[in-house]
Amino acid sequence: GGMGYVLAVRHVELDELFALKLLSNDALRNADAVARFVREARAAARLKSEHVARVVDVGHFEDGAVYIVMEHLQGRDLGEELRERGPLPVEEAITYVLQACDAISEVHAEGYVHRDIKPGNLFLTHRPNGRPCIKVLDFGIAKHLESDDPDLTMTGVMLGSPRYMSPEQMRRTRTVDARSDVWSMGVVLFKLLTNTLPFRGESVPEVISSVLFDAPLSLSSLRPGLPIDLDSFFASALEKEPDLRFQTIDELAQALSLLRD
């Protein structure tokens, strides 16, 4: 990405591949970027779910540059999967989202909100037996709900990805709670099933306006033949008022599991 890069490295003693995440030279000169990088490592290192990329080590080089060592993943993110394949089969899409929900449930239990759930941050790899396994990536803008620290960004810069961002996150990023991630996960599933978004716009301001004021597109009108209960699922997942939405990621996952069964 624009802030850094990831290298595949081999541990000399273990003869095993790892991923080494580094900040670019420009980012290293930005104190906020460095702080976000360290926060990402701390947040991810606390998580034990198999659906989170495992952090092995965090440290500094002699010149002060920071690095994160993570498990090496083979595969591609769900954004790439969609570009290659188009809309996914219902059961497959639901399976991927349920696995991501397992990770986000632990994120929330640790007191964090991810705030940047999107297909590009959900990495599809496979277990040794060939079964798919989603890994949630990028905790750079995760927020601890009990922290009084200000967001590590310049005033006026939007944190997150507007197309997957909840209405409340658009209004005030610092005060969102776990229900914002619930919204984002709903948008992700909609995208996986249709390869389009429930709120459209040619520009970021148009997308923001649509998310804040428009009703979501109807899933059944975009992809006829899907289970009719999915429409009511999205009505709850994409409710603009957080109090009327699924209240937890576990509640969303339970509703999805019933649809799959």
Contacts of 88 (CB under 8 A, 6+ apart): 81, 82, 96, 192, 193
Kind and range of the H or E run holding 187: helix 178-194
* Residue 14 CA: distances (Å) to CA of 2, 48, 199: 31, 22, 48
Is 211 in a helix, a strand, or coil?
helix
The catalytic residues are 116
Nearest to 71 by CA among 111, 112, 2, 127: 127
Q: Judging by beta carbons within 10 Å of its beta carbon (0-12, 13-18, 19+), is residue 80 exposed, middle or buried?
A: middle
